[in-house]
């Protein structure tokens, strides 16, 4: 049994692009028989104004869970109760690997919040482009 992570978003396409880079994922390919999402959405008669109502990313290796982004009208109002930990150092807590990934994500619109270094490890708390908290370790 698998699971999917779903995130509310103002701009699902932009969030999907950011998180694909953050996690080493790719945008979910269109359904079989379609060479693009535009072709699929045309076939399904989805109006232009609804085409950014959802997006998804997938692990190219087919191992990790799908991440789904759904458009919602309200903005983020409180701290996340659940967050994603991006394991940039593959569990080694290598500061150079963490720093390199943090710099990449800052270039994509993320914001550094706080750095932590304790006996259990090293990580940096960040905000994605829509203000959702996550950690890079």
The DSSP secondary structure of 64-88, one letter per residue, reads SPEEEEEE-SSPP-S--SS-EEE-T
User: What are the sequence ranges of the domains in the chain?
Assistant: 1-75, 76-137
| pLDDT value for 34 | 97
Phi, psi of 98 (to 5 degrees): -65, -50
Whether 2 shows a pLDDT value over 90: the answer reads: no
Q: Is the dihedral of CA 124, 127, 132, 136 positive or negative?
A: negative
For 68-80, write each residue's pLDDT tens digit. 999 999 988 888 8
| CATH domain 76-137 topology | 2,3-Dihydroxybiphenyl 1,2-Dioxygenase; domain 1 (3.10.180)
Distance of alpha carbon 67 from alpha carbon 81, whole angstroms = 17
Sheet bearing 26-27, strands edge to edge: 4-9, 66-71, 54-58, 26-27
Range 1-75 has CATH code 3.30.720.120: yes
Structure tokens at 119: 């006996």
Q: In whole angstroms, give the CA distance from residue 75 to residue 83.
A: 17
> What's this model's pTM, rounded to 2 decimal places?
0.92
Q: Are 47 and 107 a contacting pair, CB within 8 Å?
A: no
Q: Which two three-digit tokens encode residue 58?
A: 């997938």
Per-residue pLDDT tens digits for 17-44:
999 999 999 999 999 999 999 999 999 9
Q: What angle do CA 64, 67, 68 make, to 5 degrees?
A: 155
Does position 10 have pLDDT exceeding 90, yes or no?
A: yes
């Amino acid at each position: 049994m698998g699971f999917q992570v779903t995130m509310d978003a103002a701009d699902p396409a932009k969030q999907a692009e950011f998180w694909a880079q953050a996690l080493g994922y790719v945008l979910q390919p269109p359904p079989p028989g379609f060479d693009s999402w535009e072709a699929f959405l045309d076939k399904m008669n989805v109006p232009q104004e609804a085409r950014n109502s959802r997006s998804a990313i997938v692990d190219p290796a087919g191992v990790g869970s799908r991440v789904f982004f759904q458009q919602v009208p309200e903005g983020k109002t409180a701290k996340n109760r659940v967050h994603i930990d991006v394991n940039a150092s593959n569990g080694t807590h290598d500061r150079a690997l963490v720093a390199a990934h943090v710099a990449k994500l800052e270039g994509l619109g993320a914001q550094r919040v706080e750095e932590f270094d304790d006996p259990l490890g090293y990580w940096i708390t960040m905000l994605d482009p829509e203000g959702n908290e996550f950690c890079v370790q």
